[in-house]
Structure formats: structure tokens, C-alpha cells
Amino acid sequence: MTLDYVALAILIAVALILFYGVIVIHDIPYEIAKERRHPHQDAIHYAGWVSLFTLHALWPLLWIWATLWREDRGWGMRRIADDQQVLHQRLETVVQRLEQVQREVDLLKAKEAK
């Protein structure tokens, strides 16, 4: 009879550990977001609860969402935008030079035609 109670206690303990373990695991993306000062912390936290009720279907996406943001560089697009600005300026310079060369070629062709 005593072993029955011990087995029941172990069963209850394992069930509680599994139950709370799943809740703790679902909160990992929120903890990552909080540590990184993510601007969408609350949304990640709420989506984590939704994922808990959908058998963690959203959980991998939440993990990715939480890890994309870094406080020092944001989403990582700022440097790309700066690089694009530099490339755009260089392209404008090349286009202007090409137009100038085209005008010179047209002038030379006009002189040869005379």
C-alpha cells in the first residue's frame, strides 16, 4: 500500500514537472527578447502563449523573431541602407560620366560626318 502512494506521488511530481517545464520552455523566446531589449517583447510573449495552446507550432518562429533584433544594430538593415546609399551615389556618378562620354562621341561623329 505504501508503494502505491509513493508511485502516485512520483506520478504527480513528474506530471507537475512536465507541465511547468513546458511553460518554462515556451517562455524562452520572450526571455531572449527581453534580454536583447526587443521592441516587440510583449507580442513575442503573447504569441508564446498562443503557441503553447497550439502545441508549440509557432515556437520556432518566435525564437527566430526574438533573435533577429540586436540593440546595437536593430534589424541589421541600417548598414545595408548606408551601403545602398553609397552605391546609388556611385551609380549616379557613372551615369553622368557615361552621358558626358556619349555627348563627346556624338560630337566626334558629327565632325566626321561634315
Q: What are the average pLDDT values for consecutive 10-residue runs of the chain, which has 114 residues?
A: 94 97 92 94 94 89 92 73 85 96 93 84
**Which pLDDT score, from 0 to 100, does residue 66 have?**
94
**What global pTM score does this model have?**
0.61
Task: Give CA–CA dist 67/38, Å, rounded.
Answer: 9
Other CB atoms closer than 10 Å to residue 65's CB: what's the count?
A: 18
**Which pLDDT score, from 0 to 100, does residue 91 have?**
94
**Which pLDDT score, from 0 to 100, does residue 84 have?**
84
The domain locations on the chain are 1-74, 77-114
Number of residues that this document lists for the chain? 114
